[in-house]
């Protein structure tokens, strides 16, 4: 038996019961209010559900062939039907049966013989709750979308401001023009290779690599606290001046920590703080500012150290000539186990040619 009362503006209710009398009683009170589909078996229901799903399902438990309990289990296993609200209609009035039905996912239990007015009110109540839940879900999804869009806009604005700050620092330091962009490129080459070759696989799998590379632009932000006398000096720094210059790592970390208190995107700033604080540490513990040794140095700082030193070696300074790519590679390889992490140097040896400027990759799309 498959009887459909098609009124498009009404909610659709399926009723499944092997007793035709029960179907007629239910239809008598519900026909005026809902679009009904009347079915006499669970198998018939499953066939109909392949083409259409109801807003609410009234389901008998004790039916020949497949029971209501088995039907609801099948519905919950299927992605297309798992959210159909189910009310059991049953003559079984024992507590265990009711608990079982509710545990399997039914939203209500109505005993037969049922009172038609009470049946109508119970269905009205559940459909109203379902509609409210759907409206709330729609509202939340829209709200989440709006918040996400606004947050992304704020983050982009903050990144732009922070990028401007980093570029201002570089503009003050006339000796290191283009350093930010180049070190971001070298860092991206290293991280891409680490990801592809499984170097420190477990640790980098937790990183948001494009965000880490973006944050690298702030690794020298602490230089904003260094005087122009030192920052723009055309000769080699004295030991005393070098001591002051070395403080740019801790200055940078402090500046970033203060910024992170008042902005979104603290993950970006955590990466930035880590790079600012640790990019001058050495594997042998003779670096600065904290003289960390080996794996005490955060991995991101160890990777950044190679990128930073390579750029320093191949860049001209007032007090030194730029080295060739091959000369810089040789120095870094020879510094394995002293200045740099041996695993990272082994990787660097394999990919060193990709450090050449003409081989730049897009940090946001190539990782």
Q: What is the CATH number of the domain that holds 83?
A: 3.40.50.2300
Query: 271 lies in a domain?
Result: yes
Domain end (from 85, 114, 143): 114
- Regarding whether 211 and 67 lie in a shared domain, the answer is no
Q: What is the pLDDT of residue 361?
A: 46
User: What whole-number distance in Å separates Cα of residue 16 and Cα of residue 64?
Assistant: 12
Q: What is the pLDDT of residue 265?
A: 54
- Regarding whether 169 and 104 lie in a shared domain, the answer is no
- Regarding whether 189 and 58 lie in a shared domain, the answer is no
Query: Which residue segment(s) compose the domain that 101 sits in?
Result: 3-114
- Regarding whether 41 and 161 lie in a shared domain, the answer is no
- Regarding whether 247 and 306 lie in a shared domain, the answer is yes
Domain end (from 114, 138, 162): 114
Q: What is the pLDDT of residue 356?
A: 80
User: What whole-number distance in Å separates Cα of residue 113 and Cα of residue 245?
Assistant: 88
Q: Is 292 helix (H, G, I), strand (E, B) or coil?
A: coil
User: Mean pLDDT per 10-residue run, the chain (367 residues)?
Assistant: 52 93 91 93 92 93 90 93 92 84 91 88 90 86 83 71 72 68 93 96 93 89 86 87 92 85 70 94 97 97 97 86 94 98 98 74 47
How would you list the strands of the sheet with 35-39, edge to edge?
A: 3-4, 35-39, 12-16, 56-60, 86-90, 108-111
- Largest distance between two CA atoms of the chain: 102
The DSSP secondary-structure symbol of 320 reads B
For residue 56, the tally of other CB atoms under 10 A from its CB is 20
Chain position carrying tokens 């790592």: 249
- Regarding whether 310 and 232 lie in a shared domain, the answer is yes
Structural domain count, the chain:
2
Close Cβ partners of 232 (under 8 Å, ≥ 6 residues apart): 172, 173, 174, 175
Query: 120 lies in a domain?
Result: no
Q: What is the pLDDT of residue 357?
A: 58
Query: 308 lies in a domain?
Result: yes
- Regarding whether 256 and 188 lie in a shared domain, the answer is yes
In the numeric block, which tokens belong to residue 132?
Answer: 């409210």
Close Cβ partners of 46 (under 8 Å, ≥ 6 residues apart): 71, 74
Q: How far, CA to CA in Å, does 262 sit from each of 123, 150, 160, 163?
A: 51, 16, 16, 17
- Regarding whether 202 and 53 lie in a shared domain, the answer is no
Cis upstream peptide for 93 (omega within 30°): no
- Regarding whether 104 and 181 lie in a shared domain, the answer is no
| DSSP-assigned states of every residue in 221-241 | GGGGGS-HHHHT-SSPPPHHH
DSSP bridge pairs for 59: 16, 88
Query: 129 lies in a domain?
Result: no
Query: 132 lies in a domain?
Result: no
- Regarding whether 266 and 166 lie in a shared domain, the answer is yes
Q: What is the pLDDT of residue 3?
A: 47
User: What whole-number distance in Å separates Cα of residue 74 and Cα of residue 59?
Assistant: 13
Angle in degrees, 0-180, between the axes of helices 325-334 and 299-314, rounded to the nearest 10: 140
- Regarding whether 102 and 191 lie in a shared domain, the answer is no
Query: 123 lies in a domain?
Result: no
- Regarding whether 98 and 165 lie in a shared domain, the answer is no
CATH number for the domain that contains residue 265: 1.10.3210.10
Domain end (from 57, 85, 114): 114
Q: What is the pLDDT of residue 363?
A: 45
End-to-end CA distance of the chain: 59
Query: 104 lies in a domain?
Result: yes
Output b/e per residue, 139-150; b: 16+ Cβ within 10 A.
Answer: eeeeeeeeeeee
Query: 126 lies in a domain?
Result: no
Task: Give alpha helix (H) positions in the chain.
Answer: 20-30, 42-49, 68-77, 95-103, 116-172, 179-197, 201-204, 209-215, 228-231, 239-246, 248-260, 266-278, 299-314, 325-334, 342-351
Please check whether residue 93 is in contact with residue 111, taking contact to mean a CB–CB distance below 8 angstroms: yes
């Amino acid at each position: 038996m498959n009887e459909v009362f098609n009124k498009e503006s009404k909610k659709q209710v399926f009723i499944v019961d092997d007793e035709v009398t029960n179907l007629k009683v239910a239809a008598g009170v519900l026909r005026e209010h809902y679009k009904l589909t009347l079915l006499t078996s669970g198998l018939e229901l499953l066939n109909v559900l392949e083409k259409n799903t109801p807003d609410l399902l009234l389901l008998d438990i004790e039916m020949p062939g497949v029971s209501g309990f088995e039907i609801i289990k099948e519905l919950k296993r299927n992605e297309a039907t798992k959210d159909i609200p189910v009310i059991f209609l049953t003559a079984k009035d024992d507590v265990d049966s009711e608990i079982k039905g509710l545990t399997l996912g039914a939203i209500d239990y109505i005993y037969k013989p049922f009172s038609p007015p009470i049946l109508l009110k119970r269905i009205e109540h559940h459909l109203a709750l379902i509609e409210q839940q759907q409206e709330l879900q729609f509202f939340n999804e829209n709200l989440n979308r709006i918040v996400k869009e606004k947050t992304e806009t704020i983050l982009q604005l903050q990144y732009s401001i922070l990028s401007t700050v980093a570029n201002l620092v570089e503009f003050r330091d006339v000796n290191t023009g283009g350093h930010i962009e180049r070190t971001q490129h070298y860092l991206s080459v290293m991280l891409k290779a680490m990801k592809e070759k499984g170097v420190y696989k477990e640790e980098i799998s937790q990183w948001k690599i494009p965000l880490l590379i973006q944050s690298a632009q702030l690794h020298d932000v602490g230089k904003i606290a260094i005087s122009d006398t030192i920052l723009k000096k055309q000769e080699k720094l004295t030991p005393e001046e070098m001591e002051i210059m070395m403080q740019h790592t801790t200055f940078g970390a402090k500046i970033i920590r203060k910024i992170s208190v008042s902005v979104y995107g603290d993950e970006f700033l955590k990466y930035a703080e880590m790079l600012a604080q640790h990019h001058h540490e050495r594997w042998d513990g003779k670096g600065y500012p904290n003289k960390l040794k080996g794996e005490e140095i955060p991995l991101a700082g160890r990777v950044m150290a190679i990128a930073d030193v390579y750029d320093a070696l191949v860049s001209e300074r007032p007090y030194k000539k730029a080295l060739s790519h091959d000369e810089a590679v040789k120095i870094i390889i020879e510094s394995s186990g002293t200045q740099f992490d041996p695993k990272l140097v082994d990787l660097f040896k394999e990919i060193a040619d990709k450090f050449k400027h003409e081989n730049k990759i897009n940090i946001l799309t190539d990782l």
